[in-house]
Structure 1
């Protein structure tokens, strides 16, 4: 690998690898010589300038000593008017570098207006970020995911694992834009399997078009797939020839490398709740869809600046959810403070639907961020209804798999967490299961269990849970979902 002297000083965290298609916002650092270094967010170009061209090599910031990101990192920028020793050369080179990145990445266009009653955005364009989680064997692909006609946005993640066969195993496919397909093809490995690990619409909608982009790949789906308001067969949703995952790992062709366990709860309500957890033995990674999340302090890089600033504006939602306080109508300036406020507001709406105070979100945000948790929505509407079944699933994962990290489909990933941390996120299940079964432990065992769960349990802000509790009561009253095991345990 070619190296640049002093490049080690450019290092960042290992997960921030080269991202094709990003805007480089480049500038020429050394315009008064025959070579220059063009810096960007994800790496830098080292270029030799001439009167008619610039020969450049792109180096990852994440590399240990300024290594080339890939064999295709060498680019030639021709037919540019580059004048040595002038400010103009920096501008021309920066422009050429940015255009080169765009042309290599392919397009981001993806038309999506499906989803009743709330379609998922972005409707026309999806940026894809690829990071290399484990060198040469595991890659993470992320796109922005928004609730249509709102300012609520987060990330959705696809995990790609190289199997011993040399092919790729794709977990929870994302929108197959030209950019996404190009980033996959650059791995120069065939896609063998495409896996839908859930019933959830936001992951299901991409399986059909993704599989058509890779027609030789086998499609595997979680059991008990359904759709609403019409429960249509998978072929009507564009998913053809899919095989169904079962609890017996031996039926899958990758079972010796990746195991799975199925949570299937047909008795929850409108339709069954289904999620399949996977364990990649070689990397000791647990892959989940929505079972647990880890909300980062800062927004994921794929979430756009425009979305963050839009959420920071004091619009109608903020005025309604302001805890009765006066809401200023100040214009929004693009700065870190406003972007952070936008992110905190987004998170609280994703977690609670109607948090108590969007005007001042920081206190609730800090209570729910930077720890492994169960989403309040999933806890209230699903896990509280069938705690015994969920607990069996969680306990079997913690008992049988020696994972050291978790890769969810949303928010942060991978998250450093073992079985103890995973079980702690579900500490609320124990009380619900005990109350349902009416079990009678010895006083000492009961006391030890109580304090152990109290130390591990995540506390959900009571005021923020009110909207979810009201929604739950409404759905129960209409018969759409079943009752929580105990009315005392809804928080």
Structure 2
């Protein structure tokens, strides 16, 4: 644990509680011709090896197991190599699979959450890149809990959507669900976006019609922002009182997540202070990793911290840290539940009433922990904590003191520009 703060008939048959269990997970997929089944023929003898620690499994994994050849579909860091770290968040119930995503050496963790269902099988929330390593770690859970039954894309955000199709194709028997109003530029059908076979659109109007709804309640954020909608479906897992969200909120840890430290190069590059350091990385020490992580935090949530001077004529050492005030600014955003400033300024400000209604629905759930798609998890939090984080919506203010005013100037200027130009 980390720091505080009746279903419709499914493919298993009407009223069925457990999927048929014949052989190992991969063997049950052999008939479908899944590339995954051909790639690694599992047998029951594998169960003796199952459930190693994520660290040991990743150390054993070679670069071939971590290779993601489709990375050019969204050409961001870390590129072709996608390390996966698995952690148990709620004992025998909820698991985190973390990979990396970012650009310009501003790289944070991206989380897929897997929930073990009461009747057997797995519920996959917000898939990540289905590398051989990721699939192997997931197969270990299948041996323990049963096959992947449901795969959910809970958002319209491209950095999550890009993995949905490839991941689903690895599980041809799973039922697929996606947030409504999926979109692209230019407008294309979902099949052109890589969505495989039939995908059920999630809607609150279909309450009680989903095969997983005995275990989950949902709330949908559905806002129109400029040229496209911003949609997120939150899932409340009743038995563990856990709220699964994508980008609604987060908590920033003091130390970099484990997956960010597998290759500390981006952290050590970010730890540099000024042009006199040149392109030489900082020495690999725990202090420099944390320093690099703290600077990564500022870039990831504010885009350009106020303590940074941008001097493009001095490329490639174009970012110069002018003072040390950034340290205190990082401390103000750590270890508490937050709504991202880009959501506050660019998204929620367009429809504060719609955003507030969504937050009120979330606060009706009796959750005691939150698992977001980025940064820390699990977050020990209650509806009271979420109401505090969303107080800026009710008060019509610029926040509840969560973010320094000096760090919001760029985002507000960007919001104004996008509004004037009609882009957003």
Tell me the TM-score normalised to structure 1 length: 0.68
Alpha-carbon shift at residue 145 of structure 1 (Å):
1.2
Match of 2:402 among 441, 453, 459: 459
Alpha-carbon shift at residue 14 of structure 1 (Å):
8.6
**Conserved? CA contact 1:352–1:376, under 8 Å:** yes
- Report what 2:124 is aligned to: 170
Alpha-carbon shift at residue 125 of structure 1 (Å):
0.5
- Report what 2:72 is aligned to: 113
Alpha-carbon shift at residue 73 of structure 1 (Å):
6.3
Alpha-carbon distance between aligned partners in 2 of 1:419 and 1:280, rounded to the nearest angstrom: 14
Bigger radius of gyration among the two? 1
Q: Residue deviations 1:141-188, cap 9 Å, x none?
A: 1111122xx110000011111112201100000000000000011111
Indicate yes or no: 2:124 matched with 1:131: no
Alpha-carbon distance between aligned partners in 2 of 1:396 and 1:466, rounded to the nearest angstrom: 31
Q: Taking CA–CA contacts closer than 8 Å with sequence separation of 6 or more, which of the two structures ends up with the larger relative contact order?
A: 2
- Report what 1:409 is aligned to: 373
Q: Residue deviations 1:435-474, cap 9 Å, x none?
A: 9xxxxxxxxxxxxxxxxx99xx233111111111111111
Q: How many residues of Structure 1 are paired with residues of Structure 2 in the alignment?
A: 355
- Report what 2:362 is aligned to: 397
Alpha-carbon distance between aligned partners in 2 of 1:308 and 1:151, rounded to the nearest angstrom: 7
**Conserved? CA contact 2:110–2:374, under 8 Å:** yes
Match of 2:49 among 57, 72, 95: 72
Where does structure 1 lack aligned partners over 5 or more consecutive residues?
Answer: 1-12, 16-69, 76-96, 320-326, 436-452, 482-491
Alpha-carbon shift at residue 355 of structure 1 (Å):
1.1
Indicate yes or no: 2:186 matched with 1:239: no
Indicate yes or no: 2:233 matched with 1:276: yes
**Conserved? CA contact 1:114–1:120, under 8 Å:** no
Alpha-carbon distance between aligned partners in 1 of 2:281 and 2:164, rounded to the nearest angstrom: 41
RMSD: 2.5
**Conserved? CA contact 1:373–1:458, under 8 Å:** no
Secondary structure of the structure 1 residue equivalent to 2:360: helix
Alpha-carbon distance between aligned partners in 2 of 1:155 and 1:362, rounded to the nearest angstrom: 21
- Report what 1:370 is aligned to: 335
Alpha-carbon distance between aligned partners in 1 of 2:58 and 2:110, rounded to the nearest angstrom: 27
Alpha-carbon distance between aligned partners in 2 of 1:283 and 1:254, rounded to the nearest angstrom: 15
Indicate yes or no: 2:269 matched with 1:310: yes
- Report what 2:8 is aligned to: none
Measured at CA, do residues 208 and 339 of structure 1 come closer, stay the same or move farther in structure 2, by a change above 3 Å?
same
Alpha-carbon distance between aligned partners in 2 of 1:265 and 1:430, rounded to the nearest angstrom: 17
Where does structure 2 lack aligned partners over 5 or more consecutive residues?
Answer: 4-46, 309-320
**Conserved? CA contact 1:105–1:183, under 8 Å:** no
Indicate yes or no: 2:109 matched with 1:155: yes
- Report what 1:185 is aligned to: 139
Alpha-carbon shift at residue 133 of structure 1 (Å):
1.7
- Report what 2:7 is aligned to: none
Measured at CA, do residues 156 and 103 of structure 1 come closer, stay the same or move farther in structure 2, by a change above 3 Å?
closer
**Conserved? CA contact 2:58–2:83, under 8 Å:** no
